[in-house]
Every structure is written in structure tokens, then in C-alpha cells.
Amino acid sequence: MTTAQALDLSAAHWLLHAGNRIGATIILHALKVLIVDDNVPMRTLLVAMLRGFGLRDIGEAADGEHAFRELRTKPYDIVITDLAMPSSSGIELCHALRRSPKSPAPQIPIILVTAHTERDRVLAARDAGVNEVVTKPLSARTLVERLCAVIDEPRAFVQSAAYVGPCRRRRADPNYRGPKRRRNETDFRDTDWVVELD
Amino acid sequence: MTPIVSPPDRRLQRKIGGSARAMIKPGQIEAAEAALREAAKGVRPQVMDALAASETLARQRPFNAPRQLYEHAHAIRGLAGMCGYPKLGRIAVAMCKLLDGVDDGAAIDANLVTSIAVAMIHAAREPDRDPAMLDELIAACHEAVEQAKAV
């Protein structure tokens, strides 16, 4: 690399980062986010909020299967998915992304959006490997807090027979004496729509 | 299988050039909330359509479309609060609880379904007319659903 090329790269890097810091609404513009929801109006509202925060590259998918296919064609940074969708749910998508050998992005941050606030459903989402859960009705503040959490506070990534996803212990506890759940075996099989993919 | 634990990946922070939280300017969240409110104006007619469809289904006798009505109520539950109808959203939660897991053709109190659908219409059409009464109505819907589920 010549000195001129190095300077060009350095200038481009500075401009990118300066632009990120200076702009009132462009801080997150470099991120590519995929929204997965069967409900078109909900996707419209999510897109409006994300655009309000300066995101420009926003993809949409109507269910888990389409999202999985979309992720195989384009490198997204974050997935925001609904929980309940008629054909393939957010949990199913999460399982496929985290554990399928065909997954294009096993470690991609996943934010789950749901109107279901029951404890068992939230725990199921956590155990499927979602990074953050946000409940409807959404506000821009709540959404950006979750986005900031996956960007600023990434967690260690665990791959075990029982679980694949961000570490579920948000705080390291050196005195932990509980069960070693990561050693438990569980069966995982690709769902039909993943099996059928090339 | 021995668990593999990879360290936290800070790729996204590097991509945006630092801490996302530190970059958020005062007023930016309000601007995004304003963008949401603006977009919500375009979504309200679709909430009203789902509401009308819910009422039609709930008034059918015999009532035999709990799955379809659940789908409408679930959509309303998710959207109502973001479209300025928080109380409609709370009543839709009651409808969802009542119909969650109920298969088409299963026995269900059709009159309760209709009552909740009517309460949803009321919460959408006159959300500010008598807030205390509407709160009582919401509580009554949830109580009736709890009782129906307990049977």
C-alpha cells in the first residue's frame, strides 16, 4: 500500500467516524438491520423508528423462513424479529440461526419483539438464544436502548450441546455454585424449511 | 461436547465508531418518537380494519372462528399502544388471553367474546370520554377472562 492510499483510508475512516459522531441522526447509519414480522403495519412502524435513528439499510421479511433466506444473501448486523408469526416463529428463526449448520450468521444479535410478556415465553426466547427481548407497545426509547445494549454490551457467545447463543449470565459470578446447565444434552434438528434449503 | 465460550464481539461498536449510547444526542429519541407518531397515523386505518373484522367475527352465531379472531386481536394488541390507543391494547390483551390456544370448534363463551369485542370498539372510538369507566371496563374484561379460564 502506498502512503497516498494509506492516507486515503485514514481520511475515509476519520470521515466515517466523525460523521457518526457529529450527525444528529446518522449515528447508526452504518448498521444493516433485518426486521422480521408478518404484520405489515408493525414493520412500517419499526422501519419509521429505525429511520428516525438514522438507519438507512433496513431489510424486511414476513417470517422466519424468509428471514433465513434473506440473511443468506446479505450480511445484516442485527435481526429484530417478532415472536408469534403464523408460518415460522421468531423462536424457530432463532434456533435455526444459532444452531443450524446452514446458518449464515450464527452469532448475529437478535432482538425479539413480542406482545407476550408471560415468563415462560420470555424464558423460551432466552433459551433459544435471543440477545434482547422488547415488549409491545414499543417506544423509540425502548428500541434504541436494546440496540445500544447489543452494540455496547455484547456478551460472550456460548456454543454447547444444550445451548447456543449469548451468555445468559449477564454478570459473571465467580462464586456460582448452581447446576452446570451447559453440559446437558438436548436434541436439535433443523426445521423442515431449513432442511429443504440448498 | 465441551462448551466453547467466545469473548464478546465488539464488531458493531467498531463499525459505528464507538459507543452507541454515547453518540445519542438529546432530542434524537424525541425525533424518533415523532417519526413513530407520524407513521402511526398511516397505520391507524389498518387497526380500525382489524377492529371491524374482530367485531364481525365476534358477533357471528354460532361463534366458530377463535383462531381468526385471535390473530386480529393479537395484531391490535401489538399496534394499538403505538397508534395512540393504549386502552384498546389492554382490552385486546384480554381477548388474546381468552382465545389463546383455543381451537376452532372448541366450546367458548361467545357472549364474553362479543362483550370484549364491543369494549374494544368503545376504547377505540371514545378513548377519552370517560377514562375511569373505561378503566373499569378493562378490569371487568380481564376478570371475566380469568374466571372463564379457571372453569
Q: How confident is the model at residue A186 (pLDDT cuts 50, 70, 90)?
A: low
Q: How confident is the model at residue A180 (pLDDT cuts 50, 70, 90)?
A: low
B69 closest CA partner among B105, B113, B36: B113
A65-100 per-position pLDDT tens digit: 999 999 999 999 999 999 878 777 889 999 999 999
Summarize the confidence of residues B53-67 as an average pLDDT.
Answer: 90
Task: Check CB contact of B67 with chain A, cutoff 8 Å.
Answer: no
Contact list in A for residue B23 (CB cut-off 8 A) is 20-21, 27
Task: Tell me what pLDDT residue A54 has.
Answer: 85
A14-46 per-position pLDDT tens digit: 444 444 444 444 467 889 999 999 999 999 999
Contact list in A for residue B94 (CB cut-off 8 A) is none
> Between the CA of residue B85 and those of B47, B91, B104, B135, what are the distances in Å?
10, 10, 29, 13
In the stretch 91-120 of chain A, residues with CB closer than 8 A to chain B read 107, 109, 115
Query: Quick one: chain B helix, strand, coil %, rounded to 5?
Result: 75, 0, 25
Task: Check CB contact of B101 with chain A, cutoff 8 Å.
Answer: no
Mean pLDDT of chain A: 81
Nearest to B13 among A16, A51, A152 (CB): A152
ipTM for the whole predicted complex goes beyond 0.95:
no
Task: Check CB contact of B120 with chain A, cutoff 8 Å.
Answer: no
Q: How confident is the model at residue A171 (pLDDT cuts 50, 70, 90)?
A: low
Grid cell for residue A33: 438491520
Q: In what order do the strands lie in the sheet with A57-61?
A: A57-61, A32-36, A78-82, A110-114, A132-135
Task: Tell me what pLDDT residue A7 has.
Answer: 47
8 Å CB contact of B18 and A159: no
